[in-house]
């Protein structure tokens, strides 16, 4: 693509060929456009000269800088990046039907449930989220630099690859950070989904109101909003945004769940929509699974898929990695891995396991470092109160001292049924060593992750492998 085609009237210099766009000065080569992004720890403007010397044909910046290649000044480089990425990759987002899911908990599971329904309806579906980036069962082969929602440059590259792989739909998790930092700027979603809003990310958003308003932005970007109105923030959200709304829930909702039954094998309920009733079954336990299923059903209806097909799609859906995932063992107790890392997520999972356990519940959990510290004592209270035995340990301590994080957690503990073991591998080993027949050992916080972040280093840490190692000793 020529620079004049990419930048339009902003290009005032001799025309040149653009080979790629990057925000990483180390990736710059001859023909690159380098975009200066100001982050929490680094400022891309400081690397503009390095990019120019490496062959960049243009630099996009928010402030005047001096370098040997043309500099294009804009008000917000994150917004400009989204525009340029869309144009560079041929506006792939306009050729896909986009579905975006936001909320504190449930985003990953809902995205897979929607994928299962769409595929049951014969659609070719791409998925972008915390666990993986796929079309069908085939990896797209493009890694995201962010945990949940890729930046706009990566996102449009992924969309373009998905189109080549035959995708008709792209189902994606949309984080509050992505909405606030313009990663999804300019996208038009066919359906936006709101699962719930509970305490999280206050290290970034500072207040729950700011967190809510960041999530609410999605519903100015979609045609139809599927909203869980059993959630108090969902009730507010139904009145906001430019989109049409479809409420889902267990009371006063347009898509209504009734006659709910929950056991260790999953959930069953009847769903009522405009006078039509269907019996729904999902092989994932917990009340939160009812809400996740409702969000997926509401999305299906908003995409023109009938309830019978959607029902079959949910029945076809299997468990999601890292979400109430049972680890296969030869022991006479059960080992479950779950991603729960917020107070609400922790309470939901512990309550669910308590509802079907036959022996004791032994919970291993911690809290992440360099993240919202205010939730730590709350999780300490929940984790000890709803467990028979709690093993408090490290999650991803990052650059914080692990013992300081644990001290914050145990400040909330009101019962003395816990043991502190800082090393997570040792903590898992201890939990397994004390487990008896019919007990449930619940490993919380890591879920699908196969690493642990110690300092700034990401080390291999797969809890499935660790469980196997201990049980083979």
pLDDT tens for each residue of 127-175:
999 889 999 999 999 988 887 899 999 999 999 999 999 999 999 999 9
Residues 175-231: pLDDT tens digits? 999 999 999 999 999 999 999 998 677 777 889 899 999 999 999 999 999 999 999
Q: What is the mean pLDDT of residues 371-380?
A: 96
- Full DSSP string of 239-297: TSSSSEEEEEESSS-SEEEEEEEEETTEEEEEEEETTEEEEEEESS-SHHHHHHHHHHH
* CA-closest candidate to residue 120, choices 318, 311, 319: 311
| pLDDT, mean of residues 286-300 | 97
On average, the pLDDT of the chain sits at 95
pLDDT recorded at residue 147: 78
**Given a cut of 90, is residue 442 above it in pLDDT?**
yes
Instruction: Report the pLDDT value the prediction gives residue 329, as an integer from 0 to 100.
Output: 93
Distance, in Å, from the CA atom of 381 to the CA atom of 43, rounded to the nearest integer, reads 39
Integer-rounded Cα Rg, in Å, for the chain is 24
Identify which of 174, 217, 184, 179 has the alpha carbon closest to the alpha carbon of residue 83: 184
Contact 459, 354 (CB under 8 A): no
Q: Domains in the chain, ordered, with CATH? A: 3-85 (3.40.1390.10), 92-316 (3.40.1190.10), 325-472 (3.90.190.20)
Residues 270-293, mean pLDDT to the nearest whole number? 96
How are the residues of the chain apportioned to helix, strand and coil, as percentages rounded to the nearest 5? 35, 25, 40
Per-residue pLDDT of 97-135, as tens digits, reads 999 999 999 999 999 999 999 999 999 999 999 889 999
pLDDT band, very low/low/confident/very high, at 389 (cuts 50, 70, 90): very high
Mean per-residue pLDDT, 406-427: 97
Q: What is the DSSP letter of 183?
A: T
Distance CA 31, CA 21 (A): 9
Confidence (pLDDT) at 41:
81
pLDDT at 240 over 80: yes
pLDDT beyond 90 at 89: yes
Per-residue pLDDT tens digits for 43-70 = 999 999 999 999 999 999 999 998 999 9
């Amino acid at each position: 693509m020529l620079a004049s085609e990419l930048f339009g009237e902003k290009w005032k210099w001799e025309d040149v060929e653009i080979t790629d766009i990057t925000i990483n000065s180390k990736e710059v080569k001859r023909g690159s456009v380098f975009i200066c992004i100001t982050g929490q720890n680094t400022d891309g403007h400081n690397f503009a000269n390095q990019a120019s010397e490496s062959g960049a044909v243009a630099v996009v910046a928010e402030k005047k800088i001096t370098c040997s290649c043309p500099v294009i000044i804009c008000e917000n480089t994150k917004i400009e990046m989204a525009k340029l990425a869309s144009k560079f990759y041929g506006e792939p987002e306009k050729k896909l039907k986009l579905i975006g899911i936001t909320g504190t908990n449930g985003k990953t599971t809902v995205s897979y449930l929607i994928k299962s329904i769409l595929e049951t309806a014969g659609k070719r579906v791409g998925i972008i989220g915390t666990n993986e980036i796929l079309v069908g069962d085939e990896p797209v082969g493009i890694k995201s630099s962010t945990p949940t929602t890729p930046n706009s440059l990566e996102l449009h590259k992924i969309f373009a690859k998905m189109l080549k792989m035959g995708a008709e739909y792209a189902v994606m998790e949309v984080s509050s950070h992505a909405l606030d930092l313009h990663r999804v700027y300019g996208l038009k979603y066919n359906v936006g989904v709101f699962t719930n809003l509970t305490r999280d990310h206050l290290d970034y958003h500072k207040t729950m109101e700011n967190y809510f308003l960041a999530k609410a932005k999605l519903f100015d970007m979609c045609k139809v909003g599927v909203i869980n109105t059993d959630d108090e923030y969902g009730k507010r959200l139904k009145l906001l945004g430019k989109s049409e709304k479809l409420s889902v829930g267990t009371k006063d909702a347009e898509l209504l769940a009734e006659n709910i039954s929950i056991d260790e094998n999953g959930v069953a309920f009847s769903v009522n929509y405009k006078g039509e009733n269907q019996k729904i079954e999902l092989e994932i336990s917990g009340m939160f699974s009812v809400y996740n299923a409702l969000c997926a059903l509401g999305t299906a209806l908003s995409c023109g898929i009938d309830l019978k097909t959607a029902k079959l799609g949910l029945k076809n859906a299997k468990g999601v990695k890292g979400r109430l995932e049972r680890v296969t063992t030869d022991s006479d107790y059960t080992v479950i891995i779950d991603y729960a890392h917020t107070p609400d997520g922790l309470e939901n999972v512990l309550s669910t396991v308590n509802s079907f356990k036959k022996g004791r519940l032994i919970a291993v959990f911690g809290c992440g470092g360099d993240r919202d510290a205010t939730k730590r004592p709350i999780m300490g209270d929940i984790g000890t109160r709803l467990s028979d035995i709690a093993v408090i340990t490290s999650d991803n301590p990052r650059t914080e001292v692990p013992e300081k994080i644990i001290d914050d957690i145990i400040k909330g503990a009101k019962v003395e049924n816990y043991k502190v073991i800082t090393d997570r591998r040792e903590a898992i080993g201890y939990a397994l060593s004390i487990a008896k027949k019919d007990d449930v050992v619940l490993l919380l916080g890591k879920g699908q992750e196969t690493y642990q972040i110690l300092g700034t280093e990401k080390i291999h840490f797969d809890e499935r492998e660790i469980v196997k190692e201990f049980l083979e000793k």
